[in-house]
Amino acid sequence: MNTRKRVLAAAVGGALVAGLAVATQQATAAPPAEAPSMNEAFTQAAKEFDVPRDLLVSVGYAETHLDGHKGKPSQDNGFGVMHLVSNPERKTLEQAAELTGESKADLKKNDAANIRGGAAVLRAKADKAGLKAADRKRVEAWYPAVAAYGGAESASLKRLYADAAYDFVSKGIPSKGTKVRMSAEKVTPERGKLAKAAAPGTGTKSDDYPPAIWNPADPANFNTGRDAAISQVVIHVTQGAYAGTINWFKNPEAQVSAHYVVRSSDGEITQMVRDADTAWHARGGNASGIGIEHEGFVDDPSWFTDAMYRSSAALTKHLCDKHGIPKDRAHVVGHNEVPGNDHTDPGPNWNWDTYMGYVNS
């Protein structure tokens, strides 16, 4: 074999060996690790930050029904399963990034990262509340930390928020629609200073609608009086939790409000703006509309309970009778149906037939 052929053969042989080596490495390389399931993510995050797992699940369920909504923000700019918030008043998203090293982008869109961030923030709230290692094993002792996680300023709202989470601890979360599992555990939360706060549902009653609780929005979020006669009821979905929505409407930075907010689980109603005043809820429909917010998210039908429909419909029926509004779909409208709006609520999961049937019953 001449020199040229020997060189060519060596080159080809070397290439074959290198190719076989690469192929062998590819064949034996470990596959990329799969992302943990949401169930596993809660277990891992609870263990890492020494947070009771079922309590962590309950906080997440109370906030979002464990739906991250593909990274889309809530009404008060909260993200993910654990509703990590980034607005002028609350910075739990930024806090979670600092505590965990996760990027804000991952905390918004990645369920496992978001759950880990929520666990870190909840543990930080516990540390600030002075919870010792021994107390961290007792679910009852976490009440002040859970109350702080919600970000409310008033004691009554803190209790409203924490009681909702502890209700799921005691009753469990619905098994339908979620792959996360937890065991119901009857607990008596240690409310501490919040024990003296008004219990949910026992606040000052509304003058406009006596079954409702009166809890006024910040004056910076609505106008006193109206520029037009009341002629329609506008149905909204909060894109957030009940307690969080009430808290947001009380925040002067929000620049938004509604007349009423309805809770998903039992239909409890809070009025935040008087009927005679102009809430900021529907742009061009503000002057003539009464806005009713409903706890939940437009893409998740699990929030739209029969209790909510019945309670809200009773309110709408009352408002129509009081203000002379026809009980039809031309005058009881969705936010998305008000001219000049780009919102989609109440969305395709809202059952108008059921709702209007209750309004006209």
Q: Per residue, what are the HEC states of 112-143?
A: HHHHHHHHHHHHHHHHHCCCCCCHHHCHHHHH
Q: What angle do CA 263, 264, 266 make, to 5 degrees?
A: 80
Domain count, the chain: 2
Evaluate whether residue 201 is within a structural domain: no
Instruction: Pick out the chain residues at pLDDT < 50.
Output: 1-30
pLDDT for res 4: 38
pLDDT for res 318: 98
Task: Residue 120: give the domain boundaries.
Answer: 38-177+190-196
Evaluate whether residue 3 is within a structural domain: no
pLDDT for res 345: 96
pLDDT for res 155: 93
Backbone angles phi, psi at 292, to 5 degrees: -120, 115
Q: Is 277 exposed, middle or buried (0-12, 13-18, 19+ CB in 10 A)?
A: middle
Q: Do strands 332-334 and 232-237 pair parallel, antiparallel, or not at all (unpaired)?
A: parallel
pLDDT for res 177: 65
Evaluate whether residue 18 is within a structural domain: no
pLDDT for res 179: 78
pLDDT for res 251: 94
pTM of the model: 0.85
pLDDT for res 286: 97
* Same domain as 285, residue 152: no
pLDDT for res 201: 73
* Same domain as 113, residue 62: yes
HSE on the CB side for 107, CA within 13 Å? 27
* Same domain as 338, residue 227: yes
* Same domain as 131, residue 49: yes
pLDDT for res 279: 98
* Same domain as 171, residue 52: yes
Evaluate whether residue 317 is within a structural domain: yes
> In this structure, what CATH number is given to the domain that contains residue 252?
3.40.80.10
> In this structure, what CATH number is given to the domain that contains residue 81?
1.10.530.10
pLDDT for res 199: 75
Backbone angles phi, psi at 279, to 5 degrees: -75, 155
Evaluate whether residue 44 is within a structural domain: yes
**In 3D, which of 263, 262, 261, 347 has the Cα closest to residue 299?**
347
Q: Tell me the sheet residues that pair with 205.
A: 213
Evaluate whether residue 235 is within a structural domain: yes
Q: Which of 167, 196, 225 is the last residue of a domain?
A: 196
